[in-house]
Every structure is written in C-alpha cells, then in structure tokens.
Amino acid sequence: MSGKCIYCGKASEAEYCSQVCNQEYYSYLGRVENFLKLYIACLIVALALLIVPVFVGHLLPFIGLAVLVAGIDFVTMPFAPQFVLKAIGVRKTELVLQAAGFIMAAAGVITILVTSII
Ligand SMILES: [Zn+2]
C-alpha cells in the first residue's frame, strides 16, 4: 500500500508525512471553512459579469473583468474539491491555482485595458 501525504504529496505511510504538513493541512482547512462562501460568491460574481453584456453589449471588457475577478479569487483563495487535493496534494493544488489565477488576473487586466482604449 502506498499512501501519500495529503499536504505535500510525498510518499507517506500516514495521512501526513510530518507534523508541519499536518499543521499546514489544518490551517488550509481553516481557511476553507472561513472563506468558502466568499470564494463561491466571487465565482458567482464572475459568472454574472459574463451575463451583463447580453443587456449592455461591450462583451470583451466584461469578459476581462470576469476573468480578473475569478483570477483574484483563485490567487487569494486557492480552494479545490477533495478529490483534487487527494490526487495531487494541497500544496501543489494551491500553487497551481495561484499561478493560474495570477495569469487570469493579468489577462483580465490586459483585456480590459486594450478593449477600453479601442
Ligand atoms: Zn507532507
């Protein structure tokens, strides 16, 4: 049986490879508990921003804004479902989501700037 540390993803007999990973995992769970509603609210706002252009036009700036909001959401609150955490570990999940979020936020800002000038 080959288990993995839920936090860092290293091979481990127990659920955590070390005390540090144990603490980091519970600190992550605490953040999820405190901010999950805000995280979901931001995603809903991002989706709602995609609906606005149906009524007012100007599709691209709103797509840029939606991507920016979702990107900031992922950078500040890199939460993922349990099956993802189990598959690659909490630490990698956070890094991947934050990197993706950063790129999304940058792409969003660029889209807003470019489309607003034109
Ligand atoms: Zn670990």
Q: What is the pLDDT of residues 21-70, one digit of tens each?
A: 999 999 999 999 999 999 999 999 999 999 998 888 888 999 999 999 99
Q: Is the model's pLDDT at 117 over the cut of 60? A: yes
List, in sequence order, the alpha helices (H) in the chain. 19-56, 59-76, 82-88, 90-117
Residue type, 105: A
CA distance 7 to 26: 9
pTM recorded for the entire structure: 0.88
Q: Write down the residue that tokens 């804004």 correspond to.
A: 65
CA of 8 to the centre of ligand 1 (A): 4
The helix (run of H) or strand (run of E) holding residue 84 is: helix 82-88
CA of 4 to the centre of ligand 1 (A): 8
What's the pLDDT score for residue 118?
Answer: 59
CA of 91 to the centre of ligand 1 (A): 9
Higher pLDDT, 69 or 1: 69
CA of 89 to the centre of ligand 1 (A): 9
Chain-centroid distance of CA 58 in Å reads: 26
Helices (H) and strands (E) in the chain, counts: 4, 0
Q: Write down the residue that tokens 């980091």 correspond to.
A: 24
